[in-house]
Amino acid sequence: MTRRVLVTGASGILGRQLQARCPQGWTVLPFARSELDITDRQRVREVIAAAKPDAVVHAAAMTRVDDCEKEVDHTFRVNWIGTQNVAEAAAAVDAHMVHLSTDYVFDGTKVGPYLEEDPTGPLSVYGRSKLFAERAVQSSCRRWAVLRTQWVYGPGGTNFVDTMRRLGGEGKSLQVVDDQHGCPTFAGHLADGIYRVLDEDPGSGIYHLSGGGATTWFQFAREIFRQTSLEVEVSPCSTEQFPRPAPRPANGVMRNYRLELSIGDPMPAWQKGLEEYLSLTQHASP
């Protein structure tokens, strides 16, 4: 029997991969932002009630973290209230609600990788809005999973990998931040992990779902150039040298610990994600 998964944010990087990598036994019902405004509570309820999906993967969000600092009300309206609208509508049809969250719910001061039950302490508007969204899902749904991920890249949108390839191809010397730590996550592997969670259902809860291992933006850039055989002069720098409106957690590394203990960590090493992404895009202009 084929099950149906409704995907919000279907035109985004993750939404595209959820469609492209949909496994046997599932059918995707994609809704882009232009088709479903998640801040319209009545519209969201009508769409999900009519679709009667078995699962909802909520990938729509305001993710431009620096813009979030300037557009505070809009950010909370989309990320918090929009998520609450989707969660309530999913609960009304007893769909399995899967919500994508972020390492920005942490303050980045921990030594070592964050586990799911570690205390949160977001530093930014984006992080606070996503933490509020997590709580909305937990309070609204009977069957739910909050999946925290980070440093996501993939086809169909602007991302760090393509930016490095473009700048590297221009022969410029580069400085890249080396004091922010995280787990690069290929959207294709993230989509595979989401379907694994839906298929094996480890139970309602918060789960980390990021690329395996950890690195810095500088080391990530070096690996991009190594895998693409680009000769680029790249040197490390500090966050203070490139200040941005939204503070970033210095340590955003998350271990996929609950999945390790329940169904097994479905995420390959981040270097494998990069390799697969580059193989998909090697003939495309970065």
Q: Residues with catalytic annotation? A: 126
Quote the CA–CA distance of 277 and 34 in Å, as a whole number.
27
Name the burial class of residue 269, with classes exposed (0-12), middle (13-18) and buried (19+) by CB atoms within 10 angstroms of its CB. Answer: middle
User: In this structure, how many other beta carbons lie within 10 angstroms of the beta carbon of residue 282?
Assistant: 9
Quote the CA–CA distance of 122 and 140 in Å, as a whole number.
22
Per-residue b or e along 81-106, where b marks 16 or more CB atoms closer than 10 Å to that residue's CB: bbbbbbbbbbbebebbbbbbbbbbbb
β partners of residue 102: 149
Closest CA to 38 of 96, 98, 82, 91: 82
Reported as half-sphere exposure (CB side, CA atoms, 13 A), residue 137 has a value of 26
